[in-house]
Amino acid sequence: MFAIIVTGHGEFARGILQSAEMIFGKAPKVAAVTLAADESVEDLVNHYQATIQALQPGSELLFLVDLWGGAPFNAARQLAMQAPEKYGVIAGVNLAMLIEALTIRTQPLAVAIPHLERAAQGGIRHFDPMTATK
């Protein structure tokens, strides 16, 4: 089972994880890591390392981050580059992706990551009231 670190700017990670837990329930080896406005990428790397140590992830760890290219992504990318066989990073986390990640954690990251990308995209839909039936 892979561990999950959800992260983003401000309190985003705590909020989305709390929402997922309302739907899915509390899951082991899952943590939210936040980034304060006065913190740097280096601070975030330190937060990640402390969280990884606390989670004791076992074989694999997935970072679900809010934005491609932001500080949470860049810090996760640094760690993933050091252990590419153990760590994965997906940017653009949304609630559909996080819930799906919680349901497929027994899969290897090589299988889970493409599946999660599809799940996140599938969670984006447009409701058109002009064509909807009553």
Residues labelled catalytic: 9
80: helix, coil or strand? helix
The beta strand positions in the chain, using DSSP E, are: 3-9, 30-35, 61-65, 87-91
How far apart are alpha carbons 43 and 133 in whole angstroms?
A: 51
Sequence-distant (6+) residues with CB within 8 A of 116 are 90, 97, 100, 101, 104
